[in-house]
Amino acid sequence: MGAGVLGFDPGLLQAIADRLGTPAYVYSANLIRAQYNALHDALHGIRHRICYSVKANGNLGVLRVLKQLGAGADIVSVGELRRARIAGFDPDGIVFSGVGKTTAEIEEAIRAGVGFINIESTSELATLTSVANEIKLPARVGIRVNPDVAIDSHPYTKTGEKTAKFGIPFDEVVTVAKRIAAEPRLVLRGLAMHIGSQITDVAPYHRGAIKLIELVTAIRASGITTLEALDVGGGLGVRYHNEKAPTPKAFAEAVVPSVGAAGLGLLCEPGRYLVANAGVLLTRVLYRKHAGGKEYVIVDAGMSDFVRPSHYNAHHEILPLRDGKRPEEVVNVVGPICETGDFLALDRKLVAVGPGEVLAVLGTGAYGFVMSSTYNQRPRAPEVMVDGDRYYVARQRETLDDLIRGETAEPTTWYKA
């Protein structure tokens, strides 16, 4: 495995696996920086802010790298808000989306001075208005619009079609904007969309941006002059296998002209684009087995550590760290979890690997650790940040004690109604 394939030094990965054990997530600060800088450069023609989508990978070490580059943050919960603030993100550059923000979350976001609290329904607007009035603080809001734009992606990650639960329906947006403008404590700063994830064709971004500009024109015509930015969301696709990932330049060309012509700043919320290929999951081969005409490679990472293959049928490349010419074979790479759906790869052509050796599962920097669980009572993996030729443990491996924290076998307090 050449360093060029991965962007990681295989010797360093092996050292990490030997020191910390497996499974372990490893991230590269330099690969994250390269992705950020490429997008930042492509957007040079417009006032912009790249608001990293914390849900893709909320590790504080990852957030620190992005914060140092000047990124803002896209969050969906107070848990993510807390992480963003610990990492030092400027609240003004934080965008808070989500269809189900609680009253407590809205209050905390207002108190923190979040730059864009994106409203996703009229009943959420009512809650936000009453919270702002109750605590007597101003709230800076955006409207997340449902632009009714289709994309070609996994059905679970399409979010911009009319029937989706996300955003305010297109034809209600102007009315909602007027309601916001009529509230003395609220200021409408922007319109936002997020049409889905792992988008490989930039045309839907263009269509969506044009629709948002239509709304900007109508909102301005109603006398509202507070709009500052248009947020075109996240979703930029990456190459996991043989997908054609859009270039930052193509993305910029799809959105910058219309947003620029409207005299607005541009926000975007990439998650996967920034971190997916900056991360690998290290896993060790435990056993080999032949069963029912299939060759099995049994490894120590399962669906509890990395769920994308079994949840989305996602293809992630798997490479052994050890070099050398070996015959290829077709194998199922499976984990230790007691489910048939527990696999990292099925019918995959792989060089012959044997017990004890370490494999790297590629493209696991986004929606990897954050979607992991403790199913089957397996402590979650550690997360390691590599910077140049050094690394540090950005999150320790969970312990068995962590898994039972807060539980009790003997009742301590009984309650009645």
Q: Would you give the binding string for ligand LLP spanning residues 335-374, x where CB under 6 A is met?
A: -------------------------------xx-------
Alpha-carbon gap, residue 364 to 24, rounded angstroms: 11
- Cα separation, 13 vs 9, in Å, equals 6
Closest CA to 213 of 170, 150, 182, 158: 170
Options 67, 140, 284, 308; binder of ligand LLP; rule CB under 6 A: 308
- Choose the binding region for ligand LLP from 5-13, 59-67, 212-220, 265-273 (rule: CB under 6 A): 265-273
Distance CA 22, CA 14 (A): 10
CB of 52 to ligand LLP, least distance (A): 9
Which stretch, 41-49, 50-58, 174-182, 201-209, contacts ligand LLP (CB under 6 A)? 50-58
Looking only at residues 213 through 252 of this chain, which bind ligand LLP when binding is defined by CB under 6 A? 233-236
φ/ψ of 292, rounded to 5, equals 55, 35
CB of residue 260 vs ligand LLP: minimum separation in angstroms? 22
User: Is residue 338 annotated as a catalytic residue, yes or no?
Assistant: yes
Nearer Cβ to ligand LLP (8/306): 306
Q: What share of the chain is helix, strand, coil (3-state, %, to 5)?
A: 35, 25, 40
Euclidean distance between CA atoms 222 and 173, whole angstroms: 12
Binding mask 71-110 for ligand LLP (x = CB under 6 A): ---x----------------------x-------------
Query: In whole angstroms, how far apart are CA 158 and each of 154, 239, 240, 273?
Result: 7, 18, 18, 16
Q: Which is nearer to ligand LLP, 161 or 295 (CB)?
A: 161
Instruction: Write the DSSP string, 274-313.
Output: HHGGGEEEEEEEEEEEEETTEEEEEES--TTT--HHHHH-
Per-residue x/- track, 117-136, ligand LLP (CB under 6 A): --------------------
Cβ nearer to ligand LLP, comparing 235 with 382 = 235
- Please give the Cα distance from 19 to 116 (Å, whole number): 43
Helix (H) or strand (E) holding 105: helix 103-112
Q: Which residues are catalytic?
A: 338
By CB under 6 A, name the binding residues for ligand LLP: 53, 55-56, 74, 97, 157, 194, 197-198, 233-236, 269-273, 308, 312, 366-367
